[in-house]
Structures are given as structure tokens and as C-alpha cells.
Structure 1
């Protein structure tokens, strides 16, 4: 019975299900399974607790935080290479700053500092050898200029020679080596053609015969001054004042020299000016295309030629880069000494590039103030309208001798030709043709000291 009842109830359920499946009325449609689920969680409000705080940008537990992202980037090989390259570039930049840029900037300031008006201290006229009574500036004869009006074909040459110091044999050897031709070549000496060597009268004879020119060096100046003291007043040589080092040797040499020699020495100019060569090339590493000034020792840059101190023109070796006071020594006690040709070259390079020198003093602080326009924009405008414009300065090349310790010094704006011939070095010549091309020629010398 029980089994029959159970089968009867199962059949009834199946019949009810069949009826409901065929009925399409909404009231009798079976409910969806999702509607039968209790959705109480939808209405609940979630509250933050200490354990459920929002992750920050530096949270180590968050995979997207900055530390974790950085760690993943660093672990990549490419990133490590980029980081190493960056550190290397920083190190190289620091090294370049310390080793090159910073020293050059400091040197640039050191060289510029002495040109500023506040550094002028009016100490240029402190000559130790008295007033210069000769020719200060002499211009070379136009007919002797290579490529000039008298040399249309450009066949002439200028032959500059360093300190000869009485070494006639070496001078003749040098002239032979450069194929010196008096018809087309002109010899220019940088001074100190006499003293120390074995044959000063012979050297003077040769220079006079060739029609050569020489600027006055400190040894020639000493002889000229000694001649005034001793010969001019008929003072015995032994009683003459010892005015300079080596004076006793000068006494002996004076007795060997003839009137024509003394006349030649006295006529030596302090400076010999050579104009820019008309046919000179505009470019070239070994070419000179600018005006040249031949002196024995050196020049103070920015000081006009007619205001140069004669003593230092014949004796200077260094210059104080802060005050621009020259010195006959290589190093002074103040410790601001620079080779004068370094400061000279810096200034000439600035002129050649057309950089402004309006803030630089020219003669003295007082004269600089006179050239300044009044303060204010109205005063500056008045100054532009009324004040005469300053003459545009052009660079110059200095050719000199004197400094045998430094030896041959060939730079763009200065040519130092003293190579210690009299003490066993070389006698140096610099050849200059009509196109401005230079060539250095040397011969070995005996030690005569």
C-alpha cells in the first residue's frame, strides 16, 4: 500500500508540473532562481577598519606602489645599464668641471681682472734706466715690406733673428742656411746683438753692411748709457759708477767699439712697427696677417705704444695679472705673475674676435673716467650723441727676444726668438714671406759663457 501511495503522489506532481508548464500567465509562471536568493548583502554598508585601510603610494604590500615598481625596474638589466650610464655621465661631467671648465673660467677671470678700471694704479712709468733719449717707435720703410708698393711680385722676405750676443760665426751660418739675399731680404734683429759673445764689433759690422735693423735691447741701452757717463765726460773707466750688472765688461767693450758702432746702437729704436702685409692670406696656422711690433723684451697690453715704459720694453719677462705692472723677473713675491705674452695673447685674441673692450681701461683710471658718459639713460643718450666714438683697436703680433730661459716661444700673437745662442743653445731666425707665411730656422751655437 505504501508503495502504491508513493507512486500515486509522484504521478500527481508530474501532472501538476505539466499543467503549469503549459500555462503562460505570469501569475502561474515559476519564479527565477536568482529571485529566490536572499540579497541582504546589497543593503549592507561596508565600514573601514584598521585592517582594511586604503593602500598608499609607498605601501610595500601594494604591488603598484612606488617602491615595488622601482624595485622591478631596477631588477631589469636594461634599467641597470641606463642607471650605470647616467652615473658615469655625472662623474664625467664633474671631472670635466673640476679639471677643465673651472680652471679655464678662473684663468679667464684672472686675465680679465687686470683690464678693469678699478685695478689701475698708475705705476707704468717707473723706468730704472732713466729717460729714453732715442727713437721710441719707428716704422719700417715701405719699400722693405714684402708684397708692398715696391714688391708687386711678392719676392721680398723679412728675416727676424733672436739675440745674437756677439756670436758672429753663428750669425753668418744662419744667414747662409736661409739663403739670405740682400737684394730681396731684410734682416731685423730683436736686440741684444752685442755683449757676452766673442765678437760684438764683428756682428755690428755685419749688420751695418747688410743694412739690417735692430731694436734696442737692454745690453745696447746699457752701453749707450755707459758711453754718456764715461766717454762723454772723459771719466776714467775704472772710476765710472757701477750702474748695472756686468758693467766692467761693458767698459772693455766700449773701448773696442768705433764711432759708427755707437751711432748704430744709439739709432736703434725702442719699437719697430711693421704694417699688415697686403698679400697676406686671411687664414693659416703659420701665417701672420696683422700688424707686427718688434721689441726686445715685451709690451703691456692695452697700453698705447707711446706710453709703454722703455725700461720694461727692454727688460720685462712677466706681468702681474691683477695690476698689469710688469716685472723683469719670471716670478714676483706677490705670486700674481704671468708670462707677459699670455696676457698679451688673451687681449689680442679678444680684439681679433671683435669682443667688446669698452669696459677696459686704456691709459689710466682718470682718463677712463673722462671718457665715461653721465649716469642715467638721458646721460647715456647724450654720451652717444656727443662723445666721439673710440677708435676700433686692431690686434698686433709682438716679435721679441730677451727671455732665453723660456726659449723659443712661437704663438699666434707673439713670437719669442731668443733660444740662448751665447750659452750653447741655438740661434733662431723666423722667415716671413709676402703671403705672411712664417718658417723657423735654427743653427747650433757654441757655449761662449
Structure 2
């Protein structure tokens, strides 16, 4: 399938694109990006499509998680290992406690750009109001509130490629080195919070897994799946210059793939049916997602599926719903019912984070853990009501002990947010809250199977 050139995409007036001061510098960066090696391979994308097809059939569950916005400075072995660890822990909880295969998809190795509600940001500096371009992620500009830092710089796209490649290399090295081996379920918890209820529950589960593994080895059964894991990467396909430059034709099949990640998604702010993002992603073979917020109608969803998955290929399209805890039970049923009645093959996944953000009295952007859980519960309730499969969760999280979301077993308060608020954009669940979420989702899955 032919890929439209960048000029054609920009003629569609794409939303959420940076305003670069030097177009020649942008063109030179894009030309350079086209010469850099792909970050993933086409057959790996096809493998993920097959796995997501199982999700769409109700035979597996998708766990997608990672940073709200990665930073260049955050690309370290410790940070990468911590995120991988919490995702592996959550997957083990879901697989073992709910008896369901889990597809593991990291929101990392490319999540460097973020849409913003405004192009500008105003702050008080030395008693005077100063207005500068909004921070759009390290792929675009710097977080520091200075004129130089906030100027969009296309050269940052080259750093996105470099740091994404470094992150992928670390993930692959950890997995190849046996870090994901099920025999190490206890080592993933060695420095876990000792007085955490979630940590104690995980230790008990790990002990059960150890006993089961010992039994399997004793009877001569030791499947390879116990010792390695399939792990794929994803990010929002936001910056057209980067995604277009990383789109290549497969030498064997001739199909086009966006080889910046295995899975890319279109955000709530860029899912215009006649927009540039839908046009570009309609031409690639990767499995793709679309965020659907509370303004989405059933007709919108059906039209998007027609554009993005005209052949109705299972595993090709995932709808990621983000209605908010107070709206999901009212807004989602009709969308799911009509999409299902139309015979469309989609995987349904819940993003319980983005519809539940608010500003604390201290000025920090935060989320209540209880709202996150309430939206997931509402998601499950709607799918139970309609008779469809609640296929997964998409969560902003970190493997560190941050204090960005209030509530949960640690009972974090708004007053605690300043202790370790490290996100440069949206608040993330910390590792204790992430594990709590996994146990609660496992209980919802188990209740559904009874």
C-alpha cells in the first residue's frame, strides 16, 4: 500500500504538531531519520497482531503500561529494569490468579511526545507573567521553563531514535539474560516495600508459583514458556515527521510497517476521520489502537474501524476507551453494542487514567486510585452486560516509589504528592499501586469466569 508523502499529510491540517522555526532543519532531520535502522521488525509486528487477535476473541488479556512521557535522562538500566519488573509482576498476577494468558505491551521505547490542551503555557516568573510554548515532550522541546528550552527542535527526533534503540536493547538483554524467567518471581520482589499489602500478596503468590514450578520439574515438564517472555513496545503515533520517516516497506511482503514500535495508537485529540493520523496509520500493517473518549459515538467508532481495518482483520485494531469513572457506564454500552452488531473484529481495552485527572489544591495534577479502579470495574460491568470480552488495561505507571496518584493501599494523600512527584506530564501509578491494580483486575477476571 502506498504511503502518502509528508506534504500530503500536512495538507490535512494535522492536530497537535509542533511549530518548528526552521523548516529546512526539519527536512534535514527527516532525511537523516530515513537512513537509520528500524527499531523493530515487520514479523514481530505480525506476531503481536496474532496475539491481539486472541484478545479480540476473548482468549487472552492485554496488559499495556509504562510512562506517561519518557525522558531522555530517564533512559537508564535501572529505570528500564524497574518498569519491566512491574509489568512482569502484574502479568504474573493476572496469569496465575485469573488463569488467563497475558499479552505484555510496554508503553515505552518511543513515548517521548505528548498532546497538549494549549500551545502555550503561562507562569509567574519573578512576579511577572511569562508565556512560552507548552512542553510537548522531550521529542519536541525541553521541560525547563526558558525560552531556549521551549523552542521546538527537530534534532530531538534523532535523540528519540537513539534512546528508543537503547531502551529496546536493554529490554532484550534483560529478557535474553533470563530476567523474565518464572523461576525468578521472588527476585522481582527483593526490594519491594515490606509492609505493603500488595507486596505481601505477591510474595504469597510467588511462593505458590515456586511450588508449582518445582512440581513441574519433578515430573519432567519444564516448558520453554516458563523461561522467556514475549514483550512488545508501543507509543502514541503523534509526531508525523518521526512516524513517517520510520515507515518502511518490508522487503519480502512489500507491506508498509511503522518500524518505530510494534504497536502505535492514535490519541483522542488526533482521531479525526479525515485527519492526517488516521490517513497515515490506515496505510501501515502494524496492529494499531485508537483512543475513544466520552465524546465518541458508536458511528464514530464504526467509521474509524472502516478506515483503519477495512478487511476486518482480527488483531489489527484495538479500541482503547477512556471515558472517566463517572461516564463509562452511560457512554460505553451503546458504542460496544453497535460495533459488535456490525460484526467488527476489535479488541476492547480500558485506559482508566486519562478520564480521571484533576488538579490537587497544591497545584499537582493527580488521579485518585479509587477512580482508576472504578473505571476498570465499569468497563468490566459494561462488557458483562453486553456479552463481550473486556480485553485489557492500558495504564500509565512506573516501577518506582513515586507519589503522583492519591489513594491505594498506601493511602497517599494530596499532601504527600510533593514527596516524589517526578512525572513531567501526567501522574502515574507507582509500583505498589500498579500491583494492587493487577490483583483487583485479576479478581474481576476471575469473577467473570465463575
TM-score when normalising by structure 2: 0.29
The structure showing larger relative contact order (alpha-carbon pairs under 8 Å, at least 6 residues apart) is 2
- Larger-Rg structure: 1
